[in-house]
Structure 1
Amino acid sequence: MSLCRGWDAAGHIVGASWNRSPGEALRWGDREIPRHTAIDPQSAGASAICLAVADDALPRVAHMLARAPWPSPSPLVFHLAGSVSLDALEPLARRGAITGSLHPLRSFPEAILRGGVLDGHLCAVTSDSEDGRRRLQRLARDVGGRPVDLDDGDRAAWHLAGVAGSNFLVAMMDFAEQQMARAGMDVETARAGLTLLAEGALRAVREVGPAKALTGPVARGDRSTLERHRRCLADHPRSSEVYEALVAYMTARLGESSGD
C-alpha cells in the first residue's frame, strides 16, 4: 500500500483495492479508497492494475483477473515481484492486456514504513511492450524511484542481488550482535556501535568498490586472528559455518581481484 499511497499523492487516481479478506476502506487524508473482496476492475474504471500479492499467488490471481470484466481491452497489468517472470501473467497477455513488472530495490519493513517515496532507489522495469515500459518508468519516477530496464530472463539474478544486499546484510548484523552479546555488551550499545561500523563500510564500498573497501584479518592475511575467532565459535556450530563460508568467500575474491 505504500506505493499506492505515493502514486495517489503524485496525482494518479487509486480507484479501488481488492483483497481476499474483507476490511475497512483505505483512508489517506481526506481520500477513502474502496476495498473489495471480488476482483472487478471494470467498476473501478481501472486503466492500470497492480498485483501486490505473494509470488506463489500470482498465477492464480492472474487467472482470476483474466476472467473478470475489464474497463478497456488493453489495461496495463503489472506485478511487484522481483524474481517472477512475466510468464505468470500470460493469461492476461492472451486476453490483450499489456503486462509488466515494477520491482523497487528497497526493503519495506512494516515497523518503520512511512509513506511511499522511493528516494532514488532503483526500480527494475520489465514489460512485453514499449508502451508498458514507458508507463512503468513513469510510475517509478512518480514515487521517487530510478527506473532501470531489466530483461525478463534476468529477474532471478536481480532479485538475488537485492536479497544479498539487504536481507543477508540484516542477517549479518544479527550475527554480529550475537558476538557482541558474548562479549558482554548490551543490545542497545552493540546495535549503535555496529550500525555505525556498517555505515562506514558501506560508504567505502560506494566510493571505492568492495575489493578495496575490505579490511580486517582476511584482507591482511592475519591467520592468528582468524584462529582466535574460530576458537571463540567452537561451541557454536551454526555461527562457525557462517564464519567459515564468509572467510572462504572473501579469500577467494581477494585472490581473484589481485590477479586482475
Structure 2
Amino acid sequence: MKFGIIGTGIVGTALAVRLEEAGHECIGVHTRSRLSYERFCGYLRKEHLPLETLVPAADVLFITTQDGMIRSIAETLSANAPIKPGQVWIHCSGSLPSDILRIKENLPVHCLSLHPLQAFASVEKALDILSGTHFGIEGDVEELGEGIVKDLGGVAHHILASQKSLYHAGAVVASNYLVVLASLAVELFAEAGILSEDALASLLPLMRGTLFNLEQVGLPQALTGPIARGDAQVVQGHLAHMPRKLVEIYQALGLKALELGEGKKALQGLTYPSEELSLLKSLLMKE
C-alpha cells in the first residue's frame, strides 16, 4: 500500500511509522505546520509534497488533521487535486462519520474512518501503545480498514455511522470523565483535610485497583462499595456531609451504581432487601 499523510500530528506520525514497519510505503506528507513536519522527520524522513503531487501518487490518503479541518481538506482535495480512481480517503476522528469526506457523489474514491480508541499524549506514547489499541471503523471499505488495523497490531470494531456520536460520547466518558471523577474525589478529600497533591497520590492506587478488577471480572461484578452492598446508611452519611454543589453529581452516579448493583446481585441469585432498596432510591433521587 502506498499511502500519504495529510496532517503530521501525533496520530499521523505514529500511523506512518508503524505502517512503514508493516511493509507499506509512505510516499510523502503534507502539513501546514513546519514544527510538526520537523517532528515527523525525527521519526520518519519523508518528503513534504504539495497536494497536487501527493494525491495522485497515493493508494490511500490518511487525513489526520484536527476534526474541524477534515471537511475543508476534503473540499480542497475534491476541488483542486488530481484524484486517482479507486483511491481511499481515511480520517481518524471518533466523532465524525466517514461520509464527511464525500463532498461530491461522483468522486471516484472510497471513504473510511479509523478511530484509535486511545489517549495519545505524545508520539513516543502512541508508538508504545498503538499495538493492542482498539479501533472503531466504519465506511465504504471496512475490510481494508480491518487489514490496516491488523497491520498496526490493533483490534477492529465495526460501528454504526449514524450513531457515531454515541460511540464517541462513550469514549469521552471512559477517558475524559475519568479525570473529572478523580478531580471530584480530590475535592472531597480536601474537605476531609487532605492536600490535593496527597489526595491524588492516594487515590491513584485505588483507581488502578478498580481498573484491574474491571479487567479481571468485568461489569457489573467489579462494582464494590456501599451501594453494591446496599448500605444506605453510609450513602446517607455521604450526602449529609457533602458540599452542596457535588450532591447532584453524586446522586446521578449513585443511581447508575444502583442499577449495576442490582445486576450484580441478580448474577448471584440475590436481590436488595426491599426497605434498603427503597431508601437508596429515595436518597439518590434529585430533590
State the alpha-carbon separation in 2 of the partners of residues 191 and 12 from structure 1.
Answer: 43
The equivalent of 1:174 in structure 2 is 183
Residues 84 and 156 in structure 1, CA contact (< 8 A), matched pair in contact too: yes
What one-letter code is carried by the residue in structure 2 that aligns with 1:254?
A: G
CA offsets 1:97-135 (integer angstroms, 9 cap, x no match):
01111011111124973526423121122221xxx3232
Task: Provide structure 1 residue ranges, at least 5 long, that are not aligned to the other structure.
Answer: none
Q: Where do 1:154-193 residues align within 5 Å?
A: 154-193=163-202
* Percent identity for Structure 1 against Structure 2: 24
Residues 46 and 71 in structure 1, CA contact (< 8 A), matched pair in contact too: no
The structure-2 alpha-carbon separation of the partners of 1:205 and 1:147, relative to structure 1 and needing over 3 Å to count, comes to: same
Which of 31, 34, 38 is the matching residue for 2:47? 34
SS in 2 for 1:126: strand
State the alpha-carbon separation in 2 of the partners of residues 228 and 154 from structure 1.
Answer: 40
CA offsets 1:136-157 (integer angstroms, 9 cap, x no match):
2222122221122223233223
TM-score by length of 2: 0.76
The equivalent of 1:12 in structure 2 is 24
Q: Where do 1:76-91 residues align within 5 Å?
A: 76-91=88-103
SS in 2 for 1:40: helix
State the alpha-carbon separation in 2 of the partners of residues 93 and 142 from structure 1.
Answer: 30
Larger Rg computed on CA atoms = 2
SS in 2 for 1:107: coil
State the alpha-carbon separation in 2 of the partners of residues 159 and 153 from structure 1.
Answer: 12
State the alpha-carbon separation in 2 of the partners of residues 253 and 114 from structure 1.
Answer: 33
Residues 78 and 102 in structure 1, CA contact (< 8 A), matched pair in contact too: yes
Task: Provide structure 2 residue ranges, at least 5 long, that are not aligned to the other structure.
Answer: 1-12, 268-287
2:139 corresponds to 1:127 = yes
What one-letter code is carried by the residue in structure 2 that aligns with 1:226?
A: V
Taking only aligned residues, the RMSD between alpha carbons, in angstroms, comes to 2.7
Greater helix percent: which structure?
2
The equivalent of 1:240 in structure 2 is 247
The equivalent of 1:96 in structure 2 is 108
* Alignment length (residue pairs): 253
What one-letter code is carried by the residue in structure 2 that aligns with 1:48?
A: V
Q: Where do 1:144-155 residues align within 5 Å?
A: 144-155=153-164
Which of 205, 220, 225 is the matching residue for 2:234? 225
SS in 2 for 1:77: strand
TM-score by length of 1: 0.83
What one-letter code is carried by the residue in structure 2 that aligns with 1:118?
A: L
Pairwise CA distance, 1:195: 1.9
Question: Which deviates further from its counterpart, 53-62 or 168-177?
Answer: 53-62
